[in-house]
Amino acid sequence: MSVNKEKYQEIIKYLDGKAKLIAVSKTKPADDIQVLYNLDHRDFGENYVQELIEKYSLLPRDIHWHFIGHLQSNKVKYIAPFVYLIHGVDSLSLLKEINKQALKNNRIIDCLLQIHIAKEETKFGLNSDELEVILTDDLTELNNIRICGLMGMASFSNNLDLVKLEFQYLKNLFKKYTPLSTAQCQMQILCMGMSADYKIALEEGSNTIRIGSLLFGERQYT
């Protein structure tokens, strides 16, 4: 299936400049990314380090590459030179490794902390206590990272009330920590909402959504 340009235009119009769209291109060819690039889209999300590196090497340099998957500490070094924003950070040890690799590359890497908001066991993320610990205790030495906000994934469910409650929970955490402003932490990005639930997420205050299948078609994993 080819890229759905009409859907892209429709979503951009729907967002009306009030929220940002990250086009999630995992498993899709570089040519598909180029199609949206040619419509002036610059923000793309990838989940796998190897795949991201390959696409980075093939595509224009002014793309903002968002790493939205679960990042293993030993792979941070491969994306540290160019990654625009790392979304799924869910431990202090990962933050420290990102800081170390950012320092080596003489840059500051922006990160989002991932919060566990879904009922499902499989989704990664911090709970509110772990978030509190990271934000209030541990950041002072980490001069090469900046926590820019929070991200979360709602339950994969037809129960829209549940999805809504999960987004509200994340929004409330975001609001709670927004006043906290230090060199290492400025809460600006509330990243929630995917193809199935982005409208609910926007109603609940999301300012950044991550959309894959609506734009690029269903993914096939081999």
Ligand X SMILES: *Cc1c(COP(=O)(O)O)cnc(C)c1O
Q: Which of 104, 111, 58, 115 lies closest to 83 in space, CA to CA? A: 111
Q: Which lies closer to ligand X via its Cβ, residue 53 or residue 103?
A: 53
Which residues contact ligand X by CB under 6 A? 24, 26, 47, 68, 153, 194-196, 210-213
Cβ 172 to ligand X shortest distance, Å = 21
Q: Which lies closer to ligand X via its Cβ, residue 49 or residue 142?
A: 49
CA torsion sign, 76 to 32 to 44 to 199? Answer: negative
Q: Which lies closer to ligand X via its Cβ, residue 184 or residue 208?
A: 208
The span from the CA of 108 to the CA of 154, in Å, is 29
Cβ 116 to ligand X shortest distance, Å = 13
Cβ 219 to ligand X shortest distance, Å = 7
Cβ 39 to ligand X shortest distance, Å = 18
User: In this structure, what token pair is assigned to residue 77?
Assistant: 């070094």
Q: Which lies closer to ligand X via its Cβ, residue 56 or residue 216?
A: 216
Q: Which lies closer to ligand X via its Cβ, residue 100 or residue 164?
A: 164
Cβ 171 to ligand X shortest distance, Å = 17
